Structure 1
Amino acid sequence: MIRRILAVIAGMIVGSIGVWLIERLGHALYPFPAGLRPDDLEGFRSYVENLPFMGKFIVILGYALGALLAGFIATKVANNGKPAAAIICGVIFTFFTIYNMIMLPTPVWFWVLGIAVWGLVLVGYRLALNKNRI
């Protein structure tokens, strides 16, 4: 039981790092406006609303990498061949994503991809099971 809990925690940490890395790339390409404070929700909403398509799509790519990494790591740490740890990571990340989409102005396509992409935890799970890879 402890190993499965640690698997979910490890998957969440590594998945979050994957999302963060890609989002850092997005912020390098589409920097925050000068003077935007981390606690300025209205300023951040305005930034997101005016972000071009590619700026938003990079976030989806971050979610995709995070999902793959979370599913892979959670499965490797759980070491039981079952997808439960990966699926739990995907569900938790999906809830965080929905919360972010409620808080920020995101288009419909972002909602669809933002939720669907977390299914990639199952691809990470399958990659972790494949003994011929990594």
Structure 2
Amino acid sequence: MLRTILGVVLGAIVGVVVIGVVEGAGHTIFPPPLGVNLTDPAQLSTVMSRITFPAKVAVLLAWIFGTLAGAATANVVAGRRAWAGRIVTLVILALAVFNMTTIPHPAWFMAAAVLGVLAAGALADRAFGKPRL
């Protein structure tokens, strides 16, 4: 039980760090439009229409890679117990849904984010969970 809890905690930390690193790289490659203050909630709600498609894809990839890394870490630390990775997947999905409800995103992005995060969690489950017989 302790290994599972440790796996979930470490997996969530790894997932959030990977998301931050990949999003940071994406923001460096595809900077936000000039004059936009990303710390102002009022501007964030209107800026989504001005952010380029590749910048949105970079954020989507960050969530997918973060989920994969976090869930895989959780499963390995927890002794290949897939529940740890599934919990991390649900935590990252909840954070993504919170982000998408706080900042308006296009419908295609929301659908791709939910499906991508769930697919990454399933891949980590398959690759790093207990082998199926």
TM-score by length of 2: 0.86
> What is the deviation of 1:50?
1.2
The offset of 1:78, in angstroms, is 0.3
The gaps in structure 2 that reach 5 residues or longer are none
- The CA RMSD over aligned residues, in Å, is 2.0
**What one-letter code is carried by the residue in structure 1 that aligns with 2:103?**
L
Q: Does 1:18 align with 2:18?
A: yes
Alignment of 1:1-134 (within 5 A): 1-32=1-32, 33-34=34-35, 36=37, 38=39, 40-79=40-79, 81-119=80-118, 120-129=120-129
Which residue identity does 1:10 align to in structure 2? L
Contact 1:64–1:117 (Cα < 8 Å) also in 2: yes
Post-superposition shift, 1:82?
Answer: 2.7
Contact 1:15 1:70 in 2 (8 A): yes
* Percentage identity across paired residues of the two chains: 25
Alpha-carbon distance in 2 for matches of 1:105, 1:48: 7
Pairs aligned (count): 129
Give the TM-score, by structure 1 length.
0.86
Structure 1 consecutive aligned stretches of length 4 or more whose deviation exceeds 6 Å: none
The secondary structure found in structure 2 opposite 1:49 is coil
